Homo-oligomer: A and B are copies of this chain.
């Protein structure tokens, strides 16, 4: 790409490494950045390095945060005896947006996947087991409804049950507003199996 200057080519290359950004988008982004006001570019670059340097895992729930203990774990309003296990911080955020969940979380940072060589030791399960030595009434497993998510849910449930702690799994079924016609068969069967009496 010697028709661009080295600096532009390097920027296009770096941006193109990010997920979901193809060659064309990387080009568009690079030229946009070059045309941005200088102080805006510096703010972008600083925010990137600062986020990387200051973001760490919460000592308790393992979510990404910039404090030793995240705002949720340190809030007095949250029920510490109710733990929802999620795969990552984005999933935590999804439940937080509902504004209705009053318990705390545990972020695994992944799911068990023999295919990808991710075993129980590669996700933050040890930290979860450690927390269960405290006062915990219920663990709600909210891993994704994918093969890996389900396998992780099964694994955790088998690990926790002997400790006498209640373990539950979020319901799986037809999404609200979903048109049956467009929903896959596995979900339809799941919804049928999970039917509740009215």
A residues apposed to B, CB below 8 Å: 1-8, 10-11, 14-15, 18-21, 25, 27-34, 36, 38, 41-55, 64-67, 70-72, 88-90, 92-93, 96-97
Contacts and interface: CB of A to CB of B under 8 A. Distances in A.
A51 B7 contact: yes
B29 A93 contact: no
A123 to B, nearest CB: 14
A31 B71 contact: no
Given A4-B93, A5-B64, A51 B34 contact: yes
Given A4-B93, A89-B31, A93-B3, A48 B45 contact: yes
Contacts of A67: 5
A116 to B, nearest CB: 15
Contacts of A15: 44
Contacts of A21: 29
A45 B41 contact: no
Contact of A5 (B2, B46, B65): B65
A52 B54 CA distance: 25
